[in-house]
Amino acid sequence: MSETRPAPLAGLKVIEISAFVAAPLGAMTLAQLGADVIRIDPIGGNIDANRWPISDDGTSIYWASLNKGKRSVTLDLKSEEGQKIATDLIAEAGTLVTNLPARGWLSYENLSQHREDLVMLRLNGSHDGKPAVDYTINAASGFPIITGDDERPVNNAIPAWDVAAGLYISNGIIAAELERRSSGKGQEITLALSDVMLATVGNLGYIAEVQATGKTRGPLGNGLYGAYGQSFATSDGREIMVAVISNKHWRGLGKA
């Protein structure tokens, strides 16, 4: 019988105060790695507690899916009593993930007075602190212009930048936790949804392409830029996607 090993983040306690996709996904990823994640919501539920899709009994499938493996506390965070209870929970845990404005009682300056080695990760919309959401950030990336097969911009149905930011959040907390274990010091980490998008666009070569060629890509439809890819309708009414990115793929397609 094999020995059951503890989860990688067993023993790490995280407080989450957030809404919508990126921060809850980041905290859920930490929970899946073994962290004890406690989510604090307003009494009566957060702004996205009833977001679609919903089940027949009115339960938000979206909310339940993003908060698997977490524990839950509801507090009136507008009251001094609620803020004190939340502060005590954060101080006891030592790690906080939030996408709320970090000012007043929720500021790092205040919370670190209650826990000197506090690790706090705060997600903003833009690098300058202004609000933004996945779909506005995606529009700014230019990707809607090359989505679809005509000149109308088409936004992505998948909140890709929220998902990417959520994984950056979990990586950021893990990195800060490793640093704290070696140095004994906490830190505040600020992450912006817009910076996640810009870093990704840069890493994939889109920025350098415009700098080098002075051109942007037009609508691609289901075509695959830089290789062969296209969708086809079959005689039995289905749609298939064929992608070829290597010589082996070409040989396999020819054989097929």
The pLDDT tens digits for 38-87 are 999 999 999 999 999 999 999 999 999 999 999 999 999 999 999 999 99
Phi, psi of 147 (to 5 degrees): -95, 140
Residues of the chain with CATH 3.40.50.10540: 13-203
What is each CA distance from 68 to 36, 71, 98, in whole angstroms? 12, 9, 17
* Residues that are catalytic: 162
Buried-exposed string 2-41: b where 16+ CB fall within 10 A, e elsewhere? eeeeeeebeebbbbbbbbbbbbbbbbbbbbebebbbbbbb
Helices (H), 41-192: 61-66, 80-93, 108-111, 134-141, 160-183
- 124 pLDDT exceeds 70? yes
Is there a contact between 40 and 97 (Cβ–Cβ < 8 Å)? no
Predicted local confidence at residue 32, as pLDDT: 97
At residue 226, the pLDDT reads: 87
pTM: 0.92
Is residue 162 within 8 Å of 29, Cβ to Cβ?
Answer: no
CB 82 within 8 A of CB 57: no
Q: What does DSSP assign to residue 215?
A: -
pLDDT at residue 216 in the model: 86
**What homologous superfamily is domain 13-203 in, according to CATH?**
Crotonobetainyl-coa:carnitine coa-transferase; domain 1 (3.40.50.10540)
Q: What is the pLDDT of residue 1?
A: 59
pLDDT 10s digits, 199-256: 999 999 999 999 999 998 889 888 888 899 999 999 999 999 999 999 999 999 999 8
Encoded tokens for 86: 């939340």
pLDDT band for position 2 (cuts 50, 70, 90)? low
State the pLDDT confidence band at 151, using cuts at 50, 70 and 90: confident
**Mean pLDDT on 184-192:** 98
